[in-house]
Every structure is written in structure tokens, then in C-alpha cells.
Structure 1
Amino acid sequence: MSIQWFPGHMNAAKKKAEESMADTDVVIEVLDARLPEASCNPLVERMRVFRQRPCLKILNKSDLADPVATALWASYYNAQDNVTAYPMTTKKPSDVARIVTLCKQLAPHRGVPTKPLRIMIMGIPNVGKSTLMNALLKRRVAKVGDEPAVTKTQQRIYLDQHTVLIDTPGLMWPKIDMDSDGLMLAASHAIGSNALIEEEVAVFLAEVLLERYPNLLAARYGLKTEGMDGVAVVEGVGMKRGFRVKGGDLDFEKSAHVLLHDYRSGALGRISLETPQSRAERLARHAAEMQEKAERAAAIAAAKAEEAARGKRGS
């Protein structure tokens, strides 16, 4: 299943962000700690690298992520030039309080009366940007909702007389290259519901959980996971909970919804859908698949050209 989602307002948001980046000192990119690279927008990366802006990569919702995987991701990002990784949750005021200090460390020449520190907050939809903005300001200035793309316009607000926050709408990118990225984003509620089939997303999530966290499935639903596939897990959730449609058949749709909800809310436990190693392996597989696809296309094109040449010779 290939998931793509780039509503029209995001193209305008992208252009506005490119303009504002020129007058920004530090970029905060808010990532989902459960899937940091899948939730890392390549458009944001290109913009900030082009402008040579330092980046504070916030691994948000770290309270929902596997702490071992999060530590690996923090090391991965901290090894990059001009990047600081910060695992945190907006539920802890002490976590939020450190953000401006970390930004000042990335731009030590700013944050004085004559040169205020200008911080742009970016990220994909529903990753927690608006909640972070409200937590930083200690008041509600950004609309928050449990649906992707609630914020649609850019805001510029003074945190204090030395610090300016630029809040941007959640931004996706036009084409998600790897199907698994789209499915991880959908499972984590970063994709609009009109762009996905929830049952297929739940089956994908179940397969990841079988591979990485079978003990959490067993503990939450009482499943014996050995020999199961993703479909069987979703069915098992429904059978354990007694989800039936009229007539007595299993309510697969409701079962899928519950599995996704339990993952998103943390009821299943602390889960990460990728690690730096699994990401590298997935990228390698994708590159090999693309190479094979290109070779097949080239072979078909060559065969057609040869057939056309024979036809001309024959005539």
C-alpha cells in the first residue's frame, strides 16, 4: 500500500517557510521519537542546509518510544554537523524549559537586545509542534487537535524581548519514496485519514510489533504470537475483545482501530518503529529494489528498440 498526502495548503506553507528561513537563526525540527527518520521531512532538511542553519532535532513523544532506540537515535543525530538531538516530552515542563538554552548554544551570537534569537519550529503534521509552542509560551496561542494539519498558517510570536518563535504549519513532502515510511506515518497519525485504509495500516503495524515487540502484544491482548502474521494479530485483538458485527462475524475494522489507538496512546507500551540499523537496512533494500526496477525497465526498452529496428530492417 502506497500512502501519499500533500494537501494544497502545504505547497503555500512550503514557500512561506523558504522565505522565513532566510531570517531564522535556529531551526527546531520536531520529530516523532518512535520513527525519527520516517518523520524527518526532506524538504526541511534541504531548506536549512541550503541556508546553513543549525538544527535542534527534538525527539518528541519520547515517553511513548523505546528508550533504547531513542538513545541510539540521539547518538545518530548528534554525530551530524550543526545538529543537536533532544529527546523530550511536552508533558514535562522541565523538558520544555531547556529548549531555548539549547537553541542559544547553537546560535551563541544571538539572543541579546540588539540581536534577538529567531527560532523556526517545523515538522510534519500531528507531531506536537503546536503543543510545544503553547508549552514554551505557557499559554494557548496555537490550535491543538488530534487530527493532522490543524495549523495551516505561520505565526511569529515573541517568547521574550530577546527570543522570537516562528510557528509553521505541519508540512509533508510531495512524494514518500518508501511505502514503509508512509505506513509508519499513518500508524502514528501523521497522515490524514482520507489518504489511507486503516485496516491495512493496522496489519502493517502488527507485523512490526510481531518482529520487535511480541511480548507487548502478548501482555496487552493475551495473544500467543508464535506463528502469527499481521492479519492474525488484528483478528486476535478482535476476538479477545469480542468485536462482532451484526450476524456474528469478526469486526475487523474495529479491531484495527483499537490496535492503532493502543499504539498511539502508549497503552501497548513504549514502542519504536525503527532504529538507525533497521533504517539503514530498509534503505538498502529500497535501493536494491529501485535498481532492479530500473534494470527491468531498461531491458524492456532495449527489447522494444531492437524489435522496432528489426521491423525497419524487414521493411
Structure 2
Amino acid sequence: MSDQNAKINWYPGHMAKTKRLLQDHIKRIDLIIEICDARLPYSSRNPELSSMISRKRHLLFLNKSDLADANMNNLWIQYFRRQGTEAHLTNAAKMNGKETLGLIDKATKEIVDKALEKGVRKTVRAMITGIPNVGKSTLINRLYGRSVTQIGDRPGVTKSNQWVKVSPYLELLDTPGLLWPRLDNQLSARRLCYIGSIKDDVVDTAELTIHLLEDLCSVIPDAVAERFHIEDTGLKGVELLDAVCTGRGWLLKGGRMDYDRCCSVVLDEFRGGKLGRITLEKPAEFETEEDKIND
């Protein structure tokens, strides 16, 4: 295992190209639909996006909301609306496409009506954007009614921009996931690794799993104890990893701990919602003093 404080950074060359393409397309876009992960509503948003879309209509969808704590979902929606962002909860894998299309229609009604006044039936062009692995392509497939874009549970599945005509008057642009060049906030970077937005092969998965287990023990200790058959959720570091290996029987010949299997299963079970509905960030962590006064 490597140093727990080793910096996490991942900005493949294709992301610089993706950013340039986004900036070029934004000029011709009527609506930005930003997707983030409801388990990490703050960390799973690209901070560079706001400057790129400052003059565009903007919807924020907190996707995978079925995997996040229900009460925290509501608190995050309130937080974003206080920031002036129209935010909605979604579960792209199971959602009702008609309801989401209604939100798009409402957000673009003004520009459509202006075009109608000139005798033009405008085709709305919306861009779906977000960091890797938050469900952008899944959302488009749901809106379209069948699979038209490739999806997967790993980052980097969507490789290029792809236009999808959802209806005669609505076109959606699916874009590759875009991270930002410097992940200065290492806590946010680690959390992005938890949800699979940064590829596992660029981090030490044992250290990542230890951090995840420690975080889960602080948020849902009873669920961790039950799922992994451990008694002391106050353990730290390798001792916690060893307890999970022992509890689940992940042992190699000679009684050695099977860390590879442990890390793989723990990460997969968290990402798949097997430990219940979990939100790892609270709005209070990111509210300014001014926000608190105005609330």
C-alpha cells in the first residue's frame, strides 16, 4: 500500500479537447442540462462549468437520487435553489422521461415563444454535461425511449460528442465526462474515486477502500457492521480492512487477507447501493456565512 496522502490527479489529454469542443458547442446551445451525483452533489460538479455557461439557461439534475439519503436530497435541492440554480432530483435508470421533458419545455418556453412570434417553430438544442460516470448517456436513452448512446458503470464510456434527436423539436448533445485539470481539493478527489468518476487504476485501491470504509463508518456505522460482519466500526487504517476481510471470510491460503477481493467488493457494493442510501456531503460543509445569514 502506498502513502495515504498521495495526491489524486487525473486529466487525460482527451479532456482538454473535450473542453474546447464544449466551449465551441455552447455558442449554439439553448439549454445546459448539468448532471451530478446525488451522493456527492458538490464534489461531482465541475467548478469550471459555471464560467462556461454563465449566460445560458441551466438545469441541474441530481442523478442517482435513489442511492442518496432522502432527507439530504431535499436539503441539497434547497441549497442549490438558494444559490439561484434550478435543481431537480432524478434517477435516470428508472425515471419517467415525460416529466423530465416537461422540465426542459418549461425552461426553454421563453425562447420557443419568441421564435413563434416570428412565425418560426424552433428546435431546442440542449447539451447534457457533467463529470464522468454520473449518468448522462442513461438520461438521454430514457428521454429518447430506447438505447441510442453507449452506457457503462465506468468513466470514459462516452468518447465523443453525439447529437440525439429526441423529438422533431428537441435535440440533445451527449458529451464525454469532463473533469478539471487540477484536483486541488483532495477530499473531493477521493470522493470522486468512491463513485467511480476517476478510474480505479490511477489510485491505490487499498488506500481508497480504507478511506471509504472510514467515511462510511462515520456516517452509517450500523450498516457497515451488519454488511461486513465487524464489531468495532471505530477501527482505522489496515486494521479496519483486516476486520472486513475476516468478517466476510476473504482469506487466502495460510490465513492471509485477500485485500484485492475486499477492495473490489467494497467499492462495487458501495457504488451499487448495497449499503443503503448514503450521502457523503452535507450542504453545511459548503455554505458561506452569508448563505447562513440569508437562510
TM-score (norm 2): 0.89
**Residue equivalent to 1:67:** 70
Closer/same/farther in 2, CA of residues 227 and 158 from structure 1, 3 Å limit = closer
Q: Which ranges of structure 2 fall in alignment gaps of 5 or more residues? A: 1-5, 289-295
Match of 1:185 in 2: 192
Question: 1:28, CA displacement in angstroms?
Answer: 0.7
Cα offset, 1:54, TM superposition: 2.1
Matched, 1:164 2:166: no
Q: Give the AA of the match of 1:86.
A: H
Structure 1 match to 2:95:
93
CA distance in 2, matches of 1:259, 1:214: 15
Aligned residue among 246, 269, 273 for 2:276:
269
In structure 2, distance between residues paired with 1:87 and 1:93: 10
Who is 1:26 aligned against? 31
Residue 194 of structure 1, CA deviation: 2.4
Distance (whole Å) between structure 2 residues aligned to residue 214 and residue 191 of structure 1 = 26
Q: CA separation in 2, counterparts of 1:230 and 1:58? A: 35
Percent identity over the alignment is: 36
Instruction: Using the TM superposition, name which of 176-185 and 220-229 deviates more.
Output: 220-229
Task: Give the aligned length.
Answer: 277
**What residue number does 1:110 align with?**
111
Report the counterpart of residue 58 of structure 1 in structure 2: 61
2:21 equivalent in structure 1: 16
Unaligned ranges ≥5, structure 1: 282-315
Give the match for residue 160 of structure 2. Answer: 153
234 and 97 in structure 1: CA distance in 2 versus 1, 3 angstrom threshold? farther
Higher alpha-carbon Rg: 1
Alignment of 1:1-315 (within 5 A): 1-49=6-54, 52-81=55-84, 83-94=85-96, 96-111=97-112, 114-280=121-287
Q: CA deviation at 1:61?
A: 0.5
Structure 1 pair 93–280 and aligned structure 2 pair: CA distance change class (3 A): closer
Query: Is the contact made by 2:15 and 2:179 (CA closer than 8 Å) also made in structure 1?
Result: yes
State the Cα distance separating 1:12 from its structure 2 match.
Answer: 0.8
Instruction: Give the drift of 1:230.
Output: 4.5
Residue 210 of structure 1 contacts residue 229 of structure 1 at CA under 8 Å; is this kept in 2? no
Structure 2: which amino acid aligns with 1:267? K
Task: Map Cα deviations across residues 21-53 of structure 1 (whole Å, 9 max, x no partner).
Answer: 11111111110000011000112222111xx11
Which TM-score applies when normalising by structure 1? 0.83
The one-letter amino acid paired with 1:24 is: I
Kindly provide the amino acid, as one letter, of the partner of residue 47 in structure 2: P
Kept after mapping to 2: 8 A contact 1:57/1:85:
yes
Residue type of the alignment partner of 2:225: A
Give yes or no for contact 2:72–2:279 (8 Å, CA) kept in 1: yes
The one-character-per-residue Cα deviations of 1:249-301 (angstroms, maximum 9, x if unpaired) are 111232122211111011111111111113459xxxxxxxxxxxxxxxxxxxx
- Once the two structures are superposed, residues 226-258 of structure 1 have per-residue CA deviations (whole angstroms, 9 ceiling, x without a partner) of 532243332222111111223321112321222
Q: Give the match for residue 306 of structure 1.
A: none
8 Å Cα contact 1:6-1:174 kept in structure 2 = yes
The structure that is helix-richer by fraction is 1
Distance in 2 of aligned mates of 1:279 and 1:254:
35
User: 3-state DSSP class of the match of 1:170?
Assistant: coil
Following the alignment from structure 2 to structure 1, what is the Cα–Cα distance between the partners of residues 192 and 222?
Answer: 23
